[in-house]
Amino acid sequence: MINQTDTIDDQPLHAALKLNLKQLRDNLGNSPDLVSRQFQVNLANNMPIQGAIVYIDGLSSSSSMLQSVFTGNNENNPCTTPNELLDYYKESVIPEGAVFNPASFNEIFDLLLTGNSILLLDDCAQALAVDTKDLKARPVEEPNVQSVVRGPREGFTEVLSWNTAMIRRKINSRHLWFETYKIGSVTQTEVAVIFIENLVSDSVLEMVRERLQQINIDGILESNYIEEQIQDKKYSPFPTIFNSERPDVVAAGLLEGRVAIMVDGTPFALLVPALFTQFFQSSEDYYERADFSTLIRLLRFLSFILATITPSFYIAITTFHQELLPTTLLYNLASQREGVPFPAFVEALIMEITFEILREASVRMPKTIGQSISIVGTLVVGQAAVEAGLVSAAMVIVVSITAISNFVLPAFNLGIAARIIRFLLMIMAASFGLYGVFIFIIGIIFHLCSLTSFGVPYMAPLAPFNSTDQKDTLFRVPLRSMITRPKSLNPKNLVRQKKT
């Protein structure tokens, strides 16, 4: 037996109003949020016609449409048939701009469940859909994750149309194009692909389209659902897709020739292709002087190195290579570790896991007490562990420097990669000393050089080396000297500004 809901989608509308309303109710399980407001109107020959306005309570604001229809009923309309009356409502009565003519139940359900109101008339196998979306969402606020000292304070919200409007406001160009997709067999989530058509590489854009069209999943609830489906290497700890909740960051990426992917229901947009050096860049780098921005960027690279290798170097040196330490420092470390019952690796593992627990606890706790608990917990636990003889004071310093360096990174997902690699390096240091650490680092470098992001080498412009693109990699030269766009992205128009 075939379920009725499996065959109704492509079925055209019936002429009878009662049958159409019954089909809508049955296929939505008689849900109480499906509202149908029935009315009666007289044609020019005084023949009464029954009609109904159908919408989803909470998704639609149908007050203006209801007022327009009921006001139009009291006027003398020239229509003699229901079809003419429907056209009359479309052309002369309903003030809303976005009006559609769905031809099947499939189209009606798509429009109804996205906040549109449906107008049905008896003895008429047509319908009228009016855009009456009632967007109840978080207002535009300052981003919580990617905050800056100087720069715009607005961030994306969960409403796709608001987010695309913010991009339009920053890039006022007819070459800024949008493509929309419905992804998710159940959720039918709207996904927008944004690019500047006279800048973006055709090969990158085509790759984005192909990967999006190949997604076969029942639901998309956040942009990470898209990210995991279209990324190049699925098992690499390093992110190959950049994400941001800032309109200025997305606009800057589009101006370089990148493609933005935005998902309805989340404030985080995706940018591709993504390069390794891009995760060390902040929008604030371009709002401050070049010399200061360069200093801060170099500090971020140093912080990434410290956050990755500091515990492993401490373990390797104190366990296998004590001769590398000055004699005075070696005596001090030995005296501190005299009462510690664990080797350096176990000591570091205890502190790192403890700090990770405190970090996650501070995120899950209410904001009013989360920061206080994390600070007090770190100080109390660290001091208590030293006094109890479980860890040495030097290990607390090493773990603290590592944790603080991890927070310097502007990209949260790169910080996660550093945390994963840090634990692996600790194991190598405890097993093989500095030899194992350097072998693992060389393997990580090889892995980074093998990665690509939508056909672009992940380590560009460092590997392969491109001298032209070095103006915005480790250093940030003055804006007047950034004449060209990154060659690594293969933009159609390489020139960003005229040389002065």
402 within some domain? yes
Across the chain, mean pLDDT equals 86
pLDDT digit string, tens, across residues 316-344:
998 898 888 888 888 887 877 777 788 88
206 within some domain? yes
Q: Among 33-42, 87-96, 299-308, 326-335, whose mean pLDDT is lowest? A: 87-96
pLDDT digit string, tens, across residues 113-143:
888 888 899 988 889 888 888 777 788 888 8
State how far the Cα of 299 lies from the Cα of 320, in Å rounded to an integer: 30
Residues 303 and 260 reside in one and the same domain: no
State how far the Cα of 67 lies from the Cα of 86, in Å rounded to an integer: 16
482 within some domain? no
Residues 55 and 166 reside in one and the same domain: no
DSSP-assigned letter for residue 148: -
Residues 195 and 304 reside in one and the same domain: no
Mean per-residue pLDDT, 278-282: 93
3-state secondary structure of 249: helix
At residue 273, the pLDDT reads 95
State how far the Cα of 442 lies from the Cα of 452, in Å rounded to an integer: 18
pLDDT digit string, tens, across residues 189-205:
999 999 999 999 999 99
With 80 as the cut, is the pLDDT of residue 6 above it? no
Residues 320 and 245 reside in one and the same domain: no
Residues 114 and 255 reside in one and the same domain: no
74 within some domain? yes
Residues 269 and 305 reside in one and the same domain: no
With 70 as the cut, is the pLDDT of residue 476 above it? yes
Query: In the chain, how many domains are there?
Result: 3
Confidence label for 1 from pLDDT (cuts 50, 70 and 90): very low
pLDDT digit string, tens, across residues 70-90:
665 555 667 888 888 888 888
At residue 374, the pLDDT reads 61
At residue 423, what is the residue type?
A: F
State how far the Cα of 48 lies from the Cα of 296, in Å rounded to an integer: 75
Mean per-residue pLDDT, 148-174: 91
End residue of a domain, out of 131, 149, 174: 131
With 70 as the cut, is the pLDDT of residue 295 above it? yes
239 within some domain? yes
Mean per-residue pLDDT, 253-280: 95
With 60 as the cut, is the pLDDT of residue 421 above it? yes
Measured N-to-C along each axis, helices 393-408 and 327-336 cross at an angle, to the nearest 10 degrees, of 100
At residue 367, the pLDDT reads 65
Residues 24 and 89 reside in one and the same domain: yes
Give the structural domain span for 244. Answer: 160-274
With 90 as the cut, is the pLDDT of residue 228 above it? yes
With 80 as the cut, is the pLDDT of residue 452 above it? yes
At residue 467, what is the residue type?
A: S
280 within some domain? no
Residues 183 and 73 reside in one and the same domain: no
Q: Among 12-21, 43-52, 214-223, whose mean pLDDT is lowest? A: 43-52
Residues 261 and 301 reside in one and the same domain: no
pLDDT digit string, tens, across residues 201-213:
999 999 999 999 9
With 60 as the cut, is the pLDDT of residue 34 above it? yes
Percent of the chain at pLDDT above 70? 91
At residue 70, the pLDDT reads 64
Confidence label for 281 from pLDDT (cuts 50, 70 and 90): very high
146 within some domain? no
With 50 as the cut, is the pLDDT of residue 3 above it? no
Compute the Cα dihedral for 82, 86, 87, 88 and give only its sign. positive
Q: Among 15-19, 389-393, 397-401, 471-475, whose mean pLDDT is lowest? A: 389-393
Residues 388 and 260 reside in one and the same domain: no
Question: Tokens 């898209």 correspond to what residue?
Answer: 226
Residues 85 and 221 reside in one and the same domain: no
At residue 57, what is the residue type?
A: D
481 within some domain? no
With 90 as the cut, is the pLDDT of residue 256 above it? yes
The burial of 144, by beta-carbon neighbours within 10 Å (0-12 exposed, 13-18 middle, 19 or more buried), is given as exposed
Residues 317 and 440 reside in one and the same domain: yes
Identify which of 63, 55, 159, 160 has the alpha carbon closest to the alpha carbon of residue 109: 55
Question: Tokens 């006022």 correspond to what residue?
Answer: 172
With 80 as the cut, is the pLDDT of residue 169 above it? yes
Percent of the chain at pLDDT above 90? 44
Confidence label for 379 from pLDDT (cuts 50, 70 and 90): low
State how far the Cα of 460 lies from the Cα of 438, in Å rounded to an integer: 23
pLDDT digit string, tens, across residues 389-412:
778 888 888 988 998 899 899 998
State how far the Cα of 486 lies from the Cα of 477, in Å rounded to an integer: 14
At residue 442, the pLDDT reads 96
